[in-house]
Amino acid sequence: MSTIELEATGIVKRYGPLVANDQIDLSVLRGEVHAVMGENGAGKSTLMSILYGMQTPDAGRIVLRGTEMHYRSALDAIGAGMGMVHQAFKLFNSLTVWENVVYGMEPTRFGFIDRREAAKRVAALAERYSLRVDPNAIVGQLSVGVRQRVEILKALYRDARVLILDEPTAVLTPQERDGLFDIIRNLTADDRTILFVTHKLHEVMAITDRVTVLRDGKVVDRMVTSETSAREIIRAMTGRAVNLTVEKSPGNPGAVVLEARGLTVATDGGKPVVDHVDLSIRAGEIVGIAGVAGNGQTELIEALTGLRIPDGGTVSIHGTDVTALDVERHRDAGLAYIPEDRATTGTALAASAADNLAMGFQRKPPLSNGRLLDGNAVTAHAKRLIEKFGVKIGSEQLAVGTLSGGNLQKVVVARELSHAAPLLIAEQPTRGVDVGAIEFIHGQLVAERDRGSAVLLVSAELTEILALSDRVLVMFDGRILAELPAAEADEETLGLLMAGRVRDAHLDGTEAA
């Protein structure tokens, strides 16, 4: 296992004045799992898209199995045996699994797609690498874990020798993640090579053979996994030590702030996506909702925040029934809300930071008298928040569209925390954000709790749930499957519950709903 499969030397990629990749050298051995790590904006995705032929480097060479490559498009890279599973899946939700897999390389008969042959080939491939998936299922109806298998199938269908996985575990349960690791081992056993991009250190430690660390577009370190530690990797990434554990005192729960009873959200015809959910959050506690994406969390939060009218049940904030009220009234009743998608819900990318930070306050003093907006107050408010939360932006009049993920998230967090609202709902508050920003946001959430707010945290990230929550709810298939005190929650139990396996989770002493 010492043949070089892929070698990139002197890769440079500039975006205007910004050098996203600066003389990067990367060497990957055949059959290894090679991690590429770095903070947000370090240049990982840029490097991967260059290796995959989606972008042309400004300088540098790529040598694949001894041959120098000159990709004109991803098609050339695919042809040369590269495959990539993107962080956000590149799948067609309305199409079937086999259609997604053969897309662009369809088997044909008389010019028509040979549907039977296509499905057969996909099934055979799935069989061979134990990727359990029904070729005729519609992708949009599959769970995230299965969709990822479809992505891997796509690459294997094109006989990918090198597979790039960009943050592949961000949306998986621990069990699904372990399943993925099994698949990765199957693949490497077959002499295929894996490039693994992630922010999660324990995964790097668990599955990879070697690590290349990027910072500001440069390679800052190369390590052999078995000879290093998580702490060292972080230091390489950030240039400092980062505190991974959240310091927090035991909670001090007070009165009930948010209460939902029998909350139900129906779908057209099918079974409810939120099915008679009861929950209550008290002042001064953080309640975490764990669950795999797609189990009704999004709809539950929409119903709790007034973005959606529930089909049944009630929601009250501080005893006020807000079930049928709109978002504005929810906010009036004391809601602050960090939405899961900062770019499409949490901000208007084309609007200035000042406008973004004013949202939600626009009808209240000091920003307005309810009808007329006070431009000076809006500016002052924005300046104060940018300063306080250290948002890296030139001026409050600039559009936020160019901010990095972490900075954009800070804009959202800053705005919502400045409400000093008694109730904070935080949905995936650190998704795709680097460790430095995670540390900061986690600190803010705990401070919010200590100030006496009720905090509802929804996250697919178990480490986050475990680090922050005083109580943990597990959501599966539209229902709250279990409720555990923080002390009794651990990764394995939660993982099993998130997969709906109550029986295996050995819930002694805790209530299973």
Partner 1 sequence: MSERSVRAFRFPRIPAVPLAIGIGILIGGLLVLASGGDPIAAYREILIGALAPQNWPNTLNWAVPLVGMTLVAALPLRGGMVNLGGDGQLVIGGLVAALAALYLPLPGPLLIAASILCAMVASGLYASLAAWGETRFGIPMLISTLLLSYPVIGIASYLVGFPLRDMATGLAQTRMIPDAARLPVISGPLNIGLILMIVVAAAVVFYDRRTVGGYELRMRGLNAKFAGYGGVRLAAQQVRVMFASGAIAGLVGAILVLGSLYRYQDGALLTPGYTWSGLMAALLAGGAPLGAIAAGLFFAGLQTGGFAMQRETAIPRVLTMILQSVIILFLAIRHGVGRKSS
Partner 2 sequence: MSLMSFITPSLVNSAVQSITPILLAALAGTLCGRVGVFNMAMEGQLLVGAFAAVVGSYATGSALGGVLFAIVFTVLFSLILAYGATVFKGDSVVICIGMNLLAAGLTAYLLRQMFGVSGTFSDPGIVGLTKIRIDAINTIPWIGWIFSRQTAITWLAWILTAAVTIMMFRTPLGLRMRGVGEDASAAGTMGIDVTRYRVLTVLFAGGLTGLGGAQLSLGTVSIFSEDMSAGRGWIAVVAVMLGRNHPLWAALACVLFGVADALSVRLQSQGLPNQLTDIVPYVVTLLALALSHRKRLKRRATETITAHA
Ligand X SMILES: Nc1ncnc2c1ncn2[C@@H]1O[C@H](COP(=O)(O)OP(=O)(O)OP(=O)(O)O)[C@@H](O)[C@H]1O
Binding site for ligand X (CB under 6 A): 15, 18, 20, 38, 40-46, 402-405, 432
Work out what residue 347 binds among ligand X, partner 1, partner 2, none; the CB cut-off runs from 5 to 8 Å by kind: partner 1
120 lies in the binding site for partner 2 (CB under 8 A): no
**Per DSSP, what are the bridge partners of residue 480?**
475
State the CB neighbour count (10 A cutoff) for residue 511.
Answer: 8
Is the bond leading into 135 cis (omega within 30 degrees of zero)? no
CA separation for the pair 18, 31 (Å, rounded): 34
Q: Are 62 and 239 in contact (CB under 8 A)?
A: no
CA separation for the pair 475, 479 (Å, rounded): 6
Among 17, 111, 250, 370, binds partner 1 (CB under 8 A): 370
418 lies in the binding site for partner 1 (CB under 8 A): no
Instruction: Please report the DSSP string for 272-291 in residue order.
Output: -SEEEEEEEEETT-EEEEE-
Q: Give the nearer residue to partner 2 in terms of CB position, either 93 or 369.
A: 93
How many residues bind partner 2 (CB under 8 A)? The answer is 35
For 512, which DSSP code?
B
430 lies in the binding site for Mg ion (CB under 5 A): no
Q: Give the nearer residue to partner 2 in terms of CB position, either 89 or 196.
A: 89
**Interface positions, 342-371, toward partner 2 (CB under 8 A):** 345
Q: Give the nearer residue to ligand X in terms of CB position, either 174 or 432.
A: 432
Site string for partner 1, 350-369 (x = CB under 8 A): xx---x--xxx-xx----x-
Written as six digits, the tokens of 251 are 């909670």
Q: Give the nearer residue to partner 1 in terms of CB position, either 241 or 372.
A: 372
**Which of 227, 304, 312, 231 has its CA nearest to residue 264?**
312
Q: Give the nearer residue to ligand X in terms of CB position, either 17 or 250.
A: 17
**Interface positions, 314-333, toward partner 1 (CB under 8 A):** 326-328, 330-331
> Closest distance between partner 2 and the C-beta of residue 501, in Å?
31
Work out what residue 327 binds among partner 2, Mg ion, ligand X, none; the CB cut-off runs from 5 to 8 Å by kind: partner 2
Q: Which stretch binds partner 2 (CB under 8 A): 93-101, 199-207, 399-407, 469-477?
A: 93-101
CA separation for the pair 396, 415 (Å, rounded): 13
394 lies in the binding site for partner 1 (CB under 8 A): no
Give residue 87's identity as a one-letter amino acid code. Q
Work out what residue 161 binds among ligand X, partner 1, Mg ion, none; the CB cut-off runs from 5 to 8 Å by kind: none
**Per DSSP, what are the bridge partners of residue 14?**
19
Q: By beta-carbon distance, which residue lies closest to ligand X?
A: 405
Q: By beta-carbon distance, which residue lies closest to Mg ion?
A: 45
Phi and psi based region of residue 134 (left: phi greater than 0; alpha: psi -120 to 50; beta: remaining): beta
Among 112, 271, 371, 376, binds partner 2 (CB under 8 A): 112
State the CB neighbour count (10 A cutoff) for residue 496.
Answer: 22
Work out what residue 243 binds among partner 2, Mg ion, partner 1, none; the CB cut-off runs from 5 to 8 Å by kind: none
Among 46, 298, 347, 459, binds partner 1 (CB under 8 A): 347
CA separation for the pair 330, 288 (Å, rounded): 21
Work out what residue 363 binds among Mg ion, partner 2, partner 1, none; the CB cut-off runs from 5 to 8 Å by kind: partner 1
Instruction: Please report the DSSP string for 424-482 in residue order.
Output: EEEESTTTT--HHHHHHHHHHHHHHHHTT-EEEEEES-HHHHHHH-SEEEEEETTEEEE
54 lies in the binding site for partner 1 (CB under 8 A): no
CA distance between the termini of the chain: 51
CA separation for the pair 270, 66 (Å, rounded): 54
337 lies in the binding site for partner 1 (CB under 8 A): yes
**Which of 85, 461, 509, 103 has its CA nearest to residue 290?**
461
Q: Regarding beta strands 4-15 and 59-64, do their DSSP bridges make them parallel or antiparallel, or are they unpaired?
A: antiparallel
**Which of 195, 236, 217, 212 has its CA nearest to residue 11?**
217
Q: Are 83 and 164 in contact (CB under 8 A)?
A: yes
**Interface positions, 35-94, toward Mg ion (CB under 5 A):** 45
The CA angle 99-101-102, to the nearest 5 degrees, is 70
CA separation for the pair 354, 386 (Å, rounded): 9
Q: Give the nearer residue to partner 2 in terms of CB position, either 272 or 288.
A: 272
What strands, in cross-sheet order, belong to the sheet with 312-317?
274-282, 256-265, 312-317, 320-321
Among 86, 161, 282, 342, binds partner 2 (CB under 8 A): 86
Site string for partner 1, 17-46 (x = CB under 8 A): ----------------------------x-
174 lies in the binding site for Mg ion (CB under 5 A): no
> Closest distance between partner 1 and the C-beta of residue 361, in Å?
9
**Interface positions, 257-296, toward partner 2 (CB under 8 A):** 265, 268
> Closest distance between partner 2 and the C-beta of residue 443, in Å?
30
CA separation for the pair 367, 372 (Å, rounded): 9
Q: Which residues in this chain contact partner 1 in the complex, by CB under 8 A?
A: 45, 86-88, 305, 307, 326-328, 330-331, 337, 339, 341, 343-351, 355, 358-360, 362-363, 368, 370-373, 375, 399, 401-402, 405, 431-432
Under the rule (CB under 5 A), what is the footprint of Mg ion? 45, 432
Q: Which residues bind partner 2 (CB under 8 A)?
A: 52, 54, 73-75, 78, 84, 86, 89-95, 99, 103-104, 106, 108, 111-113, 154, 265, 268, 302, 306-309, 311, 326-327, 345
